[in-house]
């Protein structure tokens, strides 16, 4: 069932994949080229045979059988730790192209020339599930883009929700634990899940997205993503603006209902990876348009919404979208472990013209990624082909396991009489705010205004999409009904704070499920025919209206509070 359309394996000695996998072709110049070898490059007579005394199945094997030793020993070391979050993912190659001039707000070299293309690799992921988990589950989707610019690697790490559940970095471990498995039973635990959110209600806006059908996209090609955090576009004169990025699919937004997502998860847990892989093998080139919300620092200082609060969006009427590029995918990876699993993204991979901001979540993220990657991939993960920039040089960072870039005799200290390298004095440090103040231990507090954008999402956005309010209620009820009564009660109060009718409907639907009195089964859908129909061209027109709705959610955002 669900076999991929294209074979990826192409034999051992003389096959060659469409994408150029290196598997050696005998050319006569190197005697062992084109044949299987041991690790040191010596020919193997029979890779499937094992050395023994006597030509029989009953035998004691010999330790001198280097082929067998190497095969088994390599296999037992094949696995590396999976990512702490975003463990389940897939990837693709393509490019970023500048479509519109944006050089008035950034000096980033790769954005200076309309039409210029920058090579790009993307890894798509779910967040909470483990590496082998089903892909169509209710979750945020991760979009991690790696662009190989001439001035270094720039990573954009975005999510399919326009908001994040936390705005205090120290809460990330609690959020992560609560959305994974119960530490005692090893099972997913809905009591734990809702108990976390009941006690951290600034996440309410995020929850509204998570329990809408937006959190069950049919695949990655039919989803948008958002930077959420504010970053900075900087100029070489030292000036800057804040910026949020929106990446909108040109395939149209297409979501499963909960029932459809569940059926597909059972039929084909790899559905999203397969869909992307098959599309690229078939020569399709999925694309996304890239927009910036430009935020003047003066305006940000007095704006009623704190632009560094990752639980909030910024209204388009005050911060219109400005298109400046597009992302096109055109090629599958050749080796999913080498490229997808070993890829290492970080918001600290920045280039001149793009900078971090004082957003506390982005500041926390600045320490997390390269740190976990040293654990997950080893200290020299940046030297792996998928991660290494075109050029990098820093003789003060050297050695460590698996060093394969030689820095020669360059002094490993600084300054030195014998150093013959310069520094990039032409790059001005961006003017940053001047920081002066007392050290405080700050934790953001929940205020009524934290419910305002969630309320708009319920009363305006979902209300404007036929059936979506009903789906939202049944999505929450289906999940919440597995939590214990004392937790359910607090959750009803939380949704009542968004909207009294919403709270009442969730309570009624959930308690009906708990009491086992829910008689109406979820509508049956014919998934196989639906999947068969899912062609990009068909979906484009059909889903354009949903697409527009998705992006208009923050048109209505209130501006009545400031968290700082
Ligand atoms: C304090 C907040 C956060 C922390 C501490 C954090 C930490 C992490 C960690 C440890 C990983 C695994 C990295 C790896 O193993 O290579 C990860 C992956 C990821 N994070 Fe975050 N994260 C945070 C918030 C966010 C936010 C706000 C976004 C997007 C707006 C985001 C986007 C991603 C993406 C896309 C990945 C997957 C990268 C990949 O495909 O390799 N994270 N995060």
pLDDT tens figures, 84-97? 999 999 999 999 99
pLDDT of residue 22: 43
Q: Where in the sequence numbering do the catalytic residues fall?
A: 86
Determine whether the annotation assigns residue 369 to a binding site.
Answer: yes
Phi and psi (nearest 5°) for 229?
Answer: -65, 150
Smallest CA separation from ligand 1 atom 40, residue:
123
In the three-class reduction of DSSP (H, G, I as helix; E, B as strand; rest coil), residue 141 is classed as: strand
Q: Name all domains of the chain by residue range, CATH numbers in brackets.
A: 24-78 (4.10.91), 85-387+446-564 (2.40.180.10)
Mean pLDDT across 151-174: 98
CA angle 217-202-472, nearest 5°?
A: 35
Whole-number Å distance, alpha carbon 365 to ligand 1 midpoint, is 7
Whole-number Å distance, alpha carbon 519 to ligand 1 midpoint, is 41
Ligand 1 mutation target, pool 83, 206, 356, most atoms within 8 A of CB: 83
Model confidence at 556, pLDDT cuts 50, 70, 90, reads very low
pLDDT of residue 405: 87
Q: Tell me the HSE value of 25 on the side-chain side, using a 13 A CA sphere.
A: 9
Q: Using the Cα atoms of residue 121, residue 127, residue 133 and residue 137 in order, give the sign of their dihedral.
A: negative
Smallest CA separation from ligand 1 atom 35, residue:
142
Is residue 106 within 8 Å of 235, Cβ to Cβ?
yes
Cα separation of 487 and 255, whole Å? 29
Smallest CA separation from ligand 1 atom 6, residue:
365
Cα separation of 231 and 356, whole Å? 5
Q: Which atom of ligand 1 is nearest to the CA of 84?
A: 12
361 lines ligand 1 (CB under 6 A): yes
The predicted model scores a pTM of 0.89
List 295's β-bridge partners, or say none. Answer: 242
CA distances from 361 to 196, 291, 443 (A): 19, 22, 13
Q: State the average pLDDT for the chain.
A: 88
84 lines ligand 1 (CB under 6 A): yes
158 lines ligand 1 (CB under 6 A): yes
Mean pLDDT across 275-300: 98
Rg from Cα positions in the chain: 26
- The conformation of residue 181, written as its DSSP 8-state character, comes to B
Whole-number Å distance, alpha carbon 85 to ligand 1 midpoint, is 7
Q: Which two tokens stand for residue 270?
A: 């790899």
Smallest CA separation from ligand 1 atom 28, residue:
158
pLDDT tens figures, 217-264? 999 999 999 999 999 999 988 899 999 999 999 999 999 999 999 999
Q: Which of 79-88, 286-295, 529-538, 552-561 has the lowest mean pLDDT?
A: 552-561
Is residue 144 within 8 Å of 157, Cβ to Cβ?
yes
pLDDT of residue 432: 60
Whole-number Å distance, alpha carbon 209 to ligand 1 midpoint, is 18
Q: Which of 202-211, 320-329, 397-406 has the lowest mean pLDDT?
A: 397-406
Q: Which of 32-46, 382-396, 527-541 has the lowest mean pLDDT?
A: 527-541
| Closest residue by Cα to residue 82 from 421, 376, 489 | 376
Q: Which atom of ligand 1 is nearest to the CA of 376?
A: 15
């Amino acid at each position: 069932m669900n076999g991929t359309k294209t074979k990826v394996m192409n034999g051992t000695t003389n096959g060659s994949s469409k994408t150029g996998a290196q598997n050696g072709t005998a050319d006569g110049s190197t005697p062992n080229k084109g044949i299987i070898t041991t690790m040191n490059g010596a020919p193997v007579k029979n890779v499937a045979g094992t050395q023994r005394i006597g030509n029989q199945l009953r035998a004691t094997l010999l330790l001198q059988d280097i082929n067998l030793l190497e095969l088994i020993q390599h296999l037992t070391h094949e696995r590396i730790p999976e990512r702490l979050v975003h463990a389940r993912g897939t990837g693709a190659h393509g490019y970023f192209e500048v479509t519109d001039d944006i050089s008035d707000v950034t000096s980033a070299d790769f954005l200076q020339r309309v039409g210029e293309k920058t090579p790009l690799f993307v890894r798509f992921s779910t967040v909470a599930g483990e590496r082998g988990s089903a892909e169509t589950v209710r979750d945020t989707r991760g979009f991690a883009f790696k662009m190989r610019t001439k001035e270094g690697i720039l990573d954009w790490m975005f999510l399919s929700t326009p908001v994040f559940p936390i705005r205090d970095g120290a809460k990330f471990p609690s959020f992560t634990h609560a959305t994974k498995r119960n530490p005692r039973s090893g099972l997913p635990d809905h009591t734990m899940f809702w108990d976390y959110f009941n006690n951290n209600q600034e996440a309410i806006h995020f929850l509204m997205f998570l329990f809408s059908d937006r959190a069950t996209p049919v695949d990655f090609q039919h989803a948008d993503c958002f930077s959420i955090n504010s970053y900075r576009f900087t100029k070489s004169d030292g000036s800057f603006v804040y910026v949020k990025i929106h990446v909108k699919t040109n395939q149209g937004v297409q979501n499963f209902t909960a029932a459809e997502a569940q059926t597909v998860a059972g039929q084909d847990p790899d559905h999203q990876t397969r869909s992307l892989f098959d599309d690229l093998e078939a020569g399709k080139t999925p694309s996304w348009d890239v927009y910036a919300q430009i935020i003047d620092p003066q305006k940000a200082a007095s704006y009623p919404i704190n632009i560094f609060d990752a639980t909030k969006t910024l209204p388009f009427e005050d911060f219109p979208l400005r298109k400046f590029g597009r992302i096109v995918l055109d090629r599958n990876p050749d080796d999913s472990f080498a490229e997808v699993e070993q890829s290492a993204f970080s918001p600290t991979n920045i280039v001149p013209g793009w900078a971090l901001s004082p957003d506390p979540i982005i500041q926390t993220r600045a320490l997390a990624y390269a740190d976990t990657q040293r654990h997950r991939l080893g200290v020299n993960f940046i030297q792996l082909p998928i991660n290494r920039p075109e050029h990098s040089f820093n003789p003060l960072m050297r050695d460590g396991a698996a060093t394969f870039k030689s820095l020669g005799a360059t002094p490993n200290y600084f300054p030195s009489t014998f150093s013959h390298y310069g520094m990039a004095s032409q790059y001005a440090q961006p003017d940053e705010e001047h920081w002066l103040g007392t050290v405080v231990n700050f934790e953001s507090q929940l205020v009524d205004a934290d419910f305002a954008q969630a309320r708009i999402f319920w009363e305006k956005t979902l209300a404007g999409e036929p059936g979506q309010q009903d789906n939202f209620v049944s999505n929450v009820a289906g999940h919440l009904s597995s939590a214990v009564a004392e937790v359910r009660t607090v959750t009803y109060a939380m949704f009542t704070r968004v909207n009294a009718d919403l709270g009442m409907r969730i309570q009624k639907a959930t308690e009906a499920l708990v009491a086992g009195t829910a008689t109406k089964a979820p509508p049956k859908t014919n998934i196989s025919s639906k999947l068969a129909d899912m062609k990009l061209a068909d979906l484009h027109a059909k889903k354009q209206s949903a697409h527009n709705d998705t992006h208009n959610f923050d048109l209505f955002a209130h501006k009545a509070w400031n968290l700082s």
